[in-house]
């Protein structure tokens, strides 16, 4: 056990889904998993383990932002022996070609966080997802006819930018598809400790067109995201 996690060794499966929101973790566990049991409730960052189509899988909330995610991911890898981690969450869109309800599968993560910058003085380390998980997710999404895009994600530590989308325009011009707050730290830690990681996000609001997803559409799109991530996790 750790200060952030009451689970015992063996309580987590080798593959874990990582939503930021604790209630989304509970929703995934209640909706998609069989034989579910809660393994963590410290700080209400819920963790659950169950089975999906007969295979053992876990879900652990990470909280919001890269510092919080880094704590849970570090401990899942080094204390609990997790080897496959898939972030599932929402993101903002940075290009007109990504429509609301589309999935973004993050091949790489551009970032402004000091968590990555300070780890490599003098270098601009490029955190990337696991190629096997990436190709699996892309092929499964295509087979299921899910609208999806594979490319660069921005992981920012700042939600309210002083200049709004103007701060992101150059990144968008260089192919960055969406913005969220966790992916780069996940990919950094996966590289550091030699495990597999991927991020799959649902685009819920476009920073270019200002289109937003409503509550009913959000739930349907999150179902696509969760089932895709679970299919990938249990095949890993």
Average the pLDDT over 10-23 and give the result: 96
Work out the pLDDT band at 220, boundaries 50, 70, 90: low
Instruction: Please say if 205 is a catalytic residue.
Output: yes
Domain ranges of the chain: 15-235
**pTM for the model:** 0.96
Identify the CATH assignment for 15-235 out of 3.40.50.1580, 1.10.3720.10, 3.40.1360.10, 3.40.50.2000.
3.40.50.1580
Average the pLDDT over 185-190 and give the result: 98
The pair phi, psi for residue 186, each rounded to 5°, is -60, -45
Helix ranges restricted to H, the chain: 22-32, 66-78, 114-117, 131-143, 169-173, 183-193, 215-235
Work out the pLDDT band at 1, boundaries 50, 70, 90: confident
* Identified catalytic residue from 112, 157, 205, 235: 205
End-to-end CA distance of the chain: 26
Six token digits for residue 13: 């499966």
Rounded to the nearest integer, the mean pLDDT of the chain is: 95
pLDDT at 221 over 90: no
Of 163, 179, 34, the residue nearest 109 (C-alpha): 179
The partner residues of 93 in beta bridges, in order of sequence, read 178, 206
The pair phi, psi for residue 179, each rounded to 5°, is -130, 135
Would you give the DSSP letter of residue 5?
B
pLDDT at 214 over 90: no
pLDDT tens-digit map of 19-38:
999 999 999 999 999 999 99
How confident is the model at residue 75, as a pLDDT? Answer: 98
Average the pLDDT over 126-152 and give the result: 98
Contacts of 222 (CB under 8 A, 6+ apart): 24, 90, 202
- Give me the long-range contacts of 123-129 (CB less than 8 A, separation at least 24): 125/188, 127/183, 127/184, 127/185, 127/186, 127/187, 127/188, 127/191, 128/187, 128/191, 129/105, 129/187, 129/197, 129/198, 129/199
């Amino acid at each position: 056990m750790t200060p952030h996690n009451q689970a015992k060794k063996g309580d987590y499966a080798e593959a874990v889904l990582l939503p930021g929101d604790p209630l989304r973790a509970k929703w995934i566990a209640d909706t998609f998993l069989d034989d579910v049991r809660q393994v963590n409730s410290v700080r209400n960052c819920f963790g659950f383990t169950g089975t999906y189509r007969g295979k053992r899988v876990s879900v652990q909330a990470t909280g919001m932002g890269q510092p919080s995610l880094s704590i849970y991911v570090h401990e899942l890898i080094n204390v609990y022996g997790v080897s496959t981690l898939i972030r599932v969450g929402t993101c903002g869109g940075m290009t007109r070609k990504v429509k609301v309800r589309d999935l973004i599968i993050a091949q790489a993560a551009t970032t402004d966080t000091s968590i990555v910058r300070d780890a490599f003085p003098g270098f601009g380390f490029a955190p990337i997802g696991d190629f096997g998980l990436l190709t699996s997710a892309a092929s499964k999404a295509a087979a299921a006819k899910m609208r999806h895009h594979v490319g660069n994600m921005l992981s920012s530590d700042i939600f309210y930018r002083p200049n709004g989308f103007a701060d992101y325009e150059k990144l968008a011009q260089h192919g960055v598809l969406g913005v969220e707050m966790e992916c780069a730290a996940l990919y950094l830690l996966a590289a550091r400790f030699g495990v597999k990681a991927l991020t799959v996000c649902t685009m819920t609001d476009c920073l270019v067109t200002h289109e937003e997803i409503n509550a009913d559409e959000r739930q349907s799109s999150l179902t696509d995201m969760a089932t895709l991530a679970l299919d990938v996790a249990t095949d890993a």
